[in-house]
């Protein structure tokens, strides 16, 4: 699964579950600007795990994370799972 696939899946979750406007879901958009706080981020990670059928081994996001930070973290964890 490449970064574009992950971004599409993440965008779908953000839209369907959290009501985020699809035009706002850009790689450089900060989660906080999308009204995704730290509590919602934890729920979002669980949603991502369920949608992509894996478990995070590393859930460290930078402070004021962006959509791309989440995509990168998912990619890192998927690669770790594959190896």
Look up the pTM and report it. Answer: 0.92
Structure confidence by residue, pLDDT tens digits, 28-78: 999 999 999 989 999 999 999 999 988 898 889 999 999 999 999 999 999
Structural domain boundaries of the chain? 3-82
Q: What is the CATH number of domain 3-82?
A: 1.10.1200.10
Alpha helices in 20-65, H assignment, sequence order: 38-52
pLDDT of residue 73: 95
pLDDT surpassing 80 at residue 20? yes
Cα 12 to Cα 15, 40, 42, 55, 57: the distances in Å are 5, 15, 17, 19, 23
Cross-strand partners of 30: 66
């Amino acid at each position: 699964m490449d970064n574009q696939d992950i971004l599409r899946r993440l965008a779908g979750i953000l839209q369907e579950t959290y009501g985020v406007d699809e035009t706002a879901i850009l790689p450089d958009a900060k989660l906080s600007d999308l009204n995704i706080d730290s509590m919602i981020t934890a729920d979002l990670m669980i949603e991502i795990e369920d949608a992509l059928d894996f478990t995070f081994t590393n859930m460290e996001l930078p402070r004021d994370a962006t959509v791309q930070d989440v995509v990168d973290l998912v990619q890192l964890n998927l690669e770790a799972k594959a190896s």
